[in-house]
Structure 1
Amino acid sequence: MAQSPDGNHLVYVANQRLYLRAMSGLESRVIAGSEIGAGVVNPVFSPDGQALAFFSNADRTLKRLAISGGAAVTICAADTPLGVSWDEQGIVFGQSGKGILRVSPNGGTPEVIAAVGKDEVASAPQMLPGGRAVLFSVKKTVEAWDKGQIVVQPLGSGERKTLIDGGASGRYVPTGHLVYALSGTLLAVPFDLDSLAVSGGPVPIVEGVRRFQSGAGATTGVAHFSFSSSGTLAYWPGPNTLSDIGTDLALFSRNGNDVQPLKLPPGQYSSPRVSADGKFVAFERTDGTQISIWVYELAGGRAAQQFTFGGNSRAPVWSPDGQSIAFQSDREGDLAIFRQRADGSGTAERLTKPEASVGHTPQSWARDGAHLLFSVEKSNQSTLWTMTVKDRQIAALGDIPAREAAFSPDGRWVAYQVGNPSAVYLEPFPRTGAKYLVPQSGGHPFWSPKGDEIIMNTGPTQSRVIAVTTTPRVSFGRPAEFPRIGRTEPNPQAGRRNVDMMPDGQHVIGVPTAGSVSGEQTAQQITVIINWFDELRQRVPVR
């Protein structure tokens, strides 16, 4: 959502396209050229209000489009942008793993204007008036955005200065304020452009502003609010706190016609993984400050049980006998893999010891119980490795960057994701050097329980299933739709697989789209406050 600089128009995303609404009118219209098939995000107006820049999920690029419609023009490649803004100096955007980049609206190679560390993520950039400094949000990769910082960095010295400790989506307002989001509340504090410093304490000014939610159920730093230079505030109403944002988990029939919500308390759930016997599901739950793993008995005989305590824990993977769960945790300061008995008894056992600024994430456990497949994340690249669990011996699985992998049910094959745009390959295990390209682009591959199908995420609203035969030779069938009615998935280039199949092959457990199960309704209106700058000056005086 964004407003034109003069406040006369509002643009927003709905139904995977851009809509334009004149503030003086009653109807919105689709902007021709924005229907690109795989979703658009982060729209922003040009300084003159006649064009838009936005990110395209279809080809992972930043594009430009006239508000009157037409052909969208590619500006540059952008794998995972985290916020975009556009002023007379150009377009700036956050880029996962790289920092803050700037590019000409006419296209070209983006330049890094604010780099981040290997364990940091930056988002929501804004060039401050005069073009001498950039304002943005930054956080540690393993932390929630409400533990992030809002910082300013002069382009000359490159010395970052923290303005707010705890918050995200900072925006400079012409009234001399810094406005930012903490949970679902907007706060304001006086900000001096000359000294690049805040003064006084933050004051809550708007409660109930929605934060952007990814397909994995995780709330990002982006808050849905926008203001014009004429003093109008627009925002998308939402919960007051991040813990109020429910993502549910549900049991879906394979054809998508039947949905049964799991009996879980409200919360943010993601990365469900079903035990081999189909009796339990392990998943991530976040309260906005910490991520933990929980286990739920699908028969509904008892309430979900918290499985991990202390630190952030992610990516649960069941052992084939259902007796243990492997997971990633930062409980001891690094991003290592641990395992613990599935009933929660005993203490967690460390399986790996990653180097500094390196993360280890469990992916899949082979049927024999002896081999664990995991990914090694370093400098925004991921490679796959296997471990013999008994003696902790590890070996690289190939020599190319790869991620999101799964053993076949018989443990003789591995499916994994590579590249951008994503492709999925099969390899024998143990390795022979052979590899086979699945005839469908996409990511987040997983196998059917019989090992005769591979299911993959092919975009914001689509999944595909491909029949596969591995004996006497590898062959693939024609890709077909795998219904995703009422179910959401993260982008194939980001996040982890957000679905798992039951042993019967006819049901999956996944995350429902907002409102499809819990009754919560996605906001159908945007709140607009005219002359908001006057109210801001009264509530937060600038000396």
Structure 2
Amino acid sequence: MNSSKWIAISLVICAALLLAALPGYGQLPTDPVERAKVVAQFFEANARWLTLFDREGKEVTVVGQRDVYNQPVLSPDRTRVAVIKVDLDKEVSNLFVFDVATGKATQITFNQTREQTSGPAWSPDGSQVAYVGLRRGFFGLYRKASNGEGPEELLYQGGGQMLITDWSMDGRFLSYFSGSLTGGTLFALPLNAVGERKPVEILASKSQVQGARFSPDSRFVAYASNESGKMEVYVRPFDPAAATPGVKPTVGPWQISDQGGQGMAFWRRDGKEMYYLAADRGIMAVSVTTSPDFEFGKPKLLFRPSEDALTGVAPGTSSISRDGERVVIAIPPPQLRQITILDRQGKVVSTVGQPGFYLQPGISPDGKRLVVMRNDPKTSNQDIWTLDIATGKGYAVTNDTPPENAPIWSPDGTQVAYVSFREPYSGVYRKAWDGTGNEEQLFRYTPGAFMVLTDWSPDGKFLTFWTGVLSLVALRPDEKALDRKAIEWLREDYDVIDGRFSPDGRYLAFLSNEATINKTDVYVRPFDSSKPETPAGPAVQVSKNGATGMISWRQDGKEMYFLTRDWEVMAVDVTTTPAFQAGTPRLLFKLQGPLPGNPAQWNNVSRDGERFVFAMPVRAAAAAR
């Protein structure tokens, strides 16, 4: 998911980088060689450049060296950048302050293994930095001198995940938010309170809300919310003395963005201009006044980042200085991808269409079409598309605001199923492969829970998805979508993901770390459609030295495929009658990884085992040639 609508991701982005750094790894390997491989691949896939731009989008300078950065924030005098840096090898994220002129870094926090720091915010005079720290399993709001000297001070200890977004210019308040897929809350923490500090609720909503920042006079807050059905930027009054939970202010809120706003709402220090990140990743400016009343003008575009980096630009990777003259962006690796088809030797057979912001291509049963997740750079919407392999023609299966993901083909290739989040539920829907007709809901999952759809049984009677537990949905025609219940087919003390039905429907292949917690392998268990509540027999291990996904069966049931964490595409001879047996895996070819996406979701092997499709990174300049 690369959608800003999923605001809960912002709360735990550093944790996600640490604990799910590369798909299929579980915990980091303890073997030094294997661990080094994982860390190196993680770095290549996620490292960014801290880059400063002026108001016209001209690059001013690059700060420091390339690293795994997140949440950069310019100091009030814009001579320094506070930023979170992830160290996967040590399994921590820490706060650093970089000098813009020299690139010299000062480490502010020194976390222990699996501790985190996130959400830096500068004090008005730049002498301190506030941040969220995860210490010994508890989230807290802290502050420390920005030169790294002295101890950190715990300001407030919360009960759950939090993210700081601002320190008011009068020095009196920190703003932070907490949330989940079912809603969120904005808070202000008084810093000058006598005794125990008690947060002031700014806004509690069933919608997603994030990124509250105070106006220079502290009379208003700007924030992002999807209360209209898509993310927009709003302003509302802030009066901590009169704040009553659940009571709306007598004026406001005002919607500032006019065509979508992801967030990154900042105020110029004179209170006469605001900035935000638009849905198309444009850096926008809006003229405002806060006295005697709040008024605002029409948003205008300052600049859009380069196409190479476009979909990697988000509120958590960008910010703007207090004077509105500098924008800092943690520039990611190239985000454009060319859909590329390889043969069994790893040679390029063809490319499909033009490069785009694609993920997770899957081949139709007849081998003529692909289904992909596509991020629209103009709207930030993540939709499901299909592509004709021969012509490259694309068809929008979905074209809406809710983020869709995990697309799979129906057994006959006439439909596509996918997961869509419609607050507060994740559900499975299906629609004709060319986008015609209405979508049909097949299943609705637990409120606020995620799910990853991976396969549709050959007889069309079952779907399989995972959440760490491998589950099934029986598609009985006489049962309504909302009445269907998830069947926990395999729940154990270990992780089980990426279920794939055999061509005859008698087995399920999956990834599990049951043998070694530090890695996943491919296993196969019998599946009895008449008794889908539990596996019909013991597991047989297929891979020998770890796997990350891309599990596929050849149509005749005599060969399987999977991907190792060294980006090796493997094949293994198998038999399914009278019982399942697997031979010794052999290498077909090796990819130049890491590639974007999650291999545990890939359905990218043709039914005859002759073609393999990938979304290959490509730069915009190369794509234009």
What range describes the TM-score normalised by the shorter chain of this pair?
0.5 to 0.7
Structure 1 stretch 305-314 or stretch 383-392: which is displaced more?
305-314
The answer to whether the 8 Å contact 1:421/1:442 transfers is: no
Residue 63 (str. 1) matches residue 94 (str. 2): yes
State the shift of 1:56 in Å: 4.5
Residue 295 (str. 1) matches residue 386 (str. 2): yes
Tell me the residue number matched to 1:222. Answer: 315
Which residues of 2 match residues 100-111 of structure 1 at below 5 A? 102-103=141-142
Residues 136-169 of structure 1: CA distance to partner in whole angstroms, max 9, x if unpaired?
54447x9765x46578988996779856454122
Tell me the residue number matched to 1:4. Answer: none
Tell me the residue number matched to 1:508. Answer: 612
Tell me the residue number matched to 2:499. Answer: 406
The answer to whether the 8 Å contact 1:43/1:52 transfers is: yes
Tell me the residue number matched to 2:429. Answer: 338
* Residue of 254, 264, 275 corresponding to 1:169: 264
Tell me the residue number matched to 2:276. Answer: 180
State the shift of 1:193 in Å: 8.5
Q: 1:426 to 1:148 in 2, by over 3 A?
A: farther
* Residue of 373, 390, 395 corresponding to 1:284: 373
Which residues of 2 match residues 298-447 of structure 1 at below 5 A? 298-300=389-391, 303-308=393-398, 312=402, 313-329=404-420, 335-342=426-433, 348-354=439-445, 356-357=447-448, 362-375=453-466, 383-391=469-477, 394-399=486-491, 405-410=498-503, 411=505, 412-416=507-511, 423=520, 426=523, 428-430=525-527, 431=535, 432=537, 434=539, 443=548, 445-447=550-552
State the shift of 1:388 in Å: 2.8
The answer to whether the 8 Å contact 2:121/2:129 transfers is: no
* Residue of 213, 233, 236 corresponding to 2:326: 233
State the shift of 1:483 in Å: 0.9
State the shift of 1:500 in Å: 1.8
What is the identity, as a one-letter code, of the residue corresponding to 1:352? F
The answer to whether the 8 Å contact 1:211/1:224 transfers is: no
Q: The residue matched to 1:320 in structure 2 has which SS?
A: coil
Structure 1 stretch 150-159 or stretch 279-288: which is displaced more?
150-159
State the shift of 1:366 in Å: 2.7
The answer to whether the 8 Å contact 1:144/1:290 transfers is: no
Q: 1:343 to 1:226 in 2, by over 3 A?
A: closer
Tell me the residue number matched to 1:261. Answer: 351
What is the identity, as a one-letter code, of the residue corresponding to 2:305? V
* Residue of 194, 197, 206 corresponding to 2:302: 206
What is the identity, as a one-letter code, of the residue corresponding to 1:455? L
Q: 1:226 to 1:335 in 2, by over 3 A?
A: closer
Tell me the residue number matched to 2:18. Answer: none
* Residue of 333, 357, 363 corresponding to 1:274: 363
The answer to whether the 8 Å contact 1:93/1:124 transfers is: no
What is the identity, as a one-letter code, of the residue corresponding to 1:399? R
Q: 1:499 to 1:365 in 2, by over 3 A?
A: closer
CA distance in 1, matches of 2:72, 2:303: 23
Tell me the residue number matched to 1:90. Answer: 130
CA distance in 2, matches of 1:66, 1:219: 22
* Max Rg structure: 2
Q: The residue matched to 2:429 in structure 1 has which SS?
A: strand
CA distance in 2, matches of 1:185, 1:346: 33
The answer to whether the 8 Å contact 1:336/1:361 transfers is: no
Report the structure, 1 or 2, having the larger helix content. 2
Q: 1:115 to 1:510 in 2, by over 3 A?
A: same
Q: The residue matched to 1:322 in structure 2 has which SS?
A: coil
Q: 1:303 to 1:104 in 2, by over 3 A?
A: same
Q: The residue matched to 1:171 in structure 2 has which SS?
A: strand
State the shift of 1:407 in Å: 0.4
State the shift of 1:234 in Å: 3.8
State the shift of 1:469 in Å: 7.2
CA distance in 2, matches of 1:201, 1:361: 43
Q: 1:480 to 1:153 in 2, by over 3 A?
A: farther
Q: The residue matched to 1:278 in structure 2 has which SS?
A: coil
Q: 1:85 to 1:222 in 2, by over 3 A?
A: same
Tell me the residue number matched to 1:251. Answer: 341
CA distance in 1, matches of 2:430, 2:563: 27
Q: 1:352 to 1:229 in 2, by over 3 A?
A: closer
Q: 1:60 to 1:248 in 2, by over 3 A?
A: farther
Q: The residue matched to 2:623 in structure 1 has which SS?
A: coil
State the shift of 1:181 in Å: 1.6
CA distance in 2, matches of 1:222, 1:93: 20
CA distance in 2, matches of 1:519, 1:274: 23
Q: 1:69 to 1:332 in 2, by over 3 A?
A: closer
Tell me the residue number matched to 1:526. Answer: none
Tell me the residue number matched to 1:524. Answer: none
CA distance in 2, matches of 1:382, 1:286: 26
CA distance in 2, matches of 1:21, 1:346: 45
CA distance in 2, matches of 1:299, 1:28: 42
CA distance in 2, matches of 1:468, 1:280: 26
CA distance in 2, matches of 1:304, 1:92: 44
Q: 1:273 to 1:51 in 2, by over 3 A?
A: closer
State the shift of 1:373 in Å: 0.6
Q: 1:290 to 1:437 in 2, by over 3 A?
A: same
Percent sequence identity over aligned pairs: 16
State the shift of 1:484 in Å: 3.6
What is the identity, as a one-letter code, of the residue corresponding to 1:273? G
Task: Let me know the Cα RMSD of the aligned residues.
Answer: 5.5
State the shift of 1:274 in Å: 0.7
Q: 1:476 to 1:169 in 2, by over 3 A?
A: farther
Q: 1:212 to 1:119 in 2, by over 3 A?
A: farther
What is the identity, as a one-letter code, of the residue corresponding to 1:405? D
Q: 1:61 to 1:465 in 2, by over 3 A?
A: farther
State the shift of 1:117 in Å: 4.3
Give the structure-2-normalised TM-score.
Answer: 0.57
What is the identity, as a one-letter code, of the residue corresponding to 2:177? A
The answer to whether the 8 Å contact 1:327/1:337 transfers is: yes
What are structure 1's unaligned runs of at least 5 residues? 1-12, 95-99, 239-244, 376-380, 522-543
CA distance in 1, matches of 2:120, 2:586: 39
State the shift of 1:80 in Å: 12
The answer to whether the 8 Å contact 2:266/2:320 transfers is: no
Give the structure-1-normalised TM-score.
Answer: 0.64
Q: The residue matched to 1:519 in structure 2 has which SS?
A: helix
The answer to whether the 8 Å contact 1:211/1:221 transfers is: no
Q: 1:65 to 1:340 in 2, by over 3 A?
A: closer
State the shift of 1:279 in Å: 1.6
The answer to whether the 8 Å contact 2:559/2:571 transfers is: no
The answer to whether the 8 Å contact 2:419/2:426 transfers is: yes
Structure 1 stretch 125-134 or stretch 161-170: which is displaced more?
125-134
Residues 507-531 of structure 1: CA distance to partner in whole angstroms, max 9, x if unpaired?
432323242796259xxxxxxxxxx
Residues 185-214 of structure 1: CA distance to partner in whole angstroms, max 9, x if unpaired?
32334567899x853224315132359969
Residues 77-125 of structure 1: CA distance to partner in whole angstroms, max 9, x if unpaired?
58997x754553522599xxxxx97455678988634222433566667
Q: 1:516 to 1:509 in 2, by over 3 A?
A: farther
The answer to whether the 8 Å contact 1:54/1:64 transfers is: yes
